[in-house]
Structure 1
Amino acid sequence: MDYTLIILRLGQQVRQHRLNRGLTQAQLAALACVTRQKVIAVEKGDLSVGMLAYARVLGALDCEFAVVPAVMPTLEEIQGMFD
C-alpha cells in the first residue's frame, strides 16, 4: 500500500470528523493549538505534516490513531493520485 494514499485517507477522515462535529478549520485549529494552515495541510494529506500535528488535531476531535489492515484503493483514489 502506498503511504501517500494512507495519508490522504487520514486527511479525509479528519475532515469528515471535523464537519460531523460542526467545526470550522479555524475552530479545530484553536482546539488543537495549531494554525489553521496546519489543519488545512492535515486535511489535504500533506506529507510534510508531522505526527505531533496529527495527534493534536485528532485529540481535539476526541479521536485517536488505529492500526487496521489496508484495503485496496478505490478507482477515485487512484485517479486522485494522478491529478
Structure 2
Amino acid sequence: MDYSLIAQRLGQQLRQRRLNRGLTQVALASLACLTRQKVIAIEKGDLSVGMMAYARVLAALDAELTVVHAVIPTLDAIHGVFD
C-alpha cells in the first residue's frame, strides 16, 4: 500500500475525531501545543509532518495509534466508481 494513502487516512481519522469532540483546529492546536497550520498539515496527511506532532495531536484527542492490516478495496467494491 502507498504510504501517502496511509498518511491521508490517518489525517482523515484525526480530523473526524476532532470534529466528533467539537474542537476547532485552533482549539486542537492549543491543546497539542502546535500551530493551526501544523494541525491542517496533519489532517491533510502531509508527509513532511514529524511523528512528534502526530503524537501530540493523538494525546490531545485522548487517542493512540494502533497498527492494523491495511484494507485495499477490491475491484467489486469500486466497480461503480468509473461508470
State the partner residue of 1:81. none
Q: Where in structure 2 are the equivalents of 1:1-83 lying within 5 Å?
A: 1-73=1-73
Displacement of 1:21 after TM fit?
A: 0.1
Identity of aligned residues (%): 75
Aligned-pair RMSD on alpha carbons? 1.1
| Higher helix proportion (structure 1 or 2) | 1
Deviations 1:29-64 (A, max 9, x none): 000000000000000000100000000001000001
**Aligned mates of 1:22, 1:28 — CA distance in 2:** 10
- In structure 2, stretches of 5+ residues that fail to align are 79-83
Amino acid at match of 2:41: A
TM-score (normalised: structure 2): 0.87
Q: Which has the greater radius of gyration?
A: 2
Displacement of 1:17 after TM fit?
A: 0.1
**Aligned mates of 2:14, 2:39 — CA distance in 1:** 9
Displacement of 1:70 after TM fit?
A: 0.3
Amino acid at match of 2:49: V
**Aligned mates of 1:36, 1:58 — CA distance in 2:** 15
- In structure 1, stretches of 5+ residues that fail to align are 76-83
TM-score (normalised: structure 1): 0.87
Q: Which stretches of structure 1, 4 residues or more, deviate above 2 A after TM superposition?
A: none
**Aligned mates of 1:37, 1:15 — CA distance in 2:** 14
Number of corresponding residues: 75
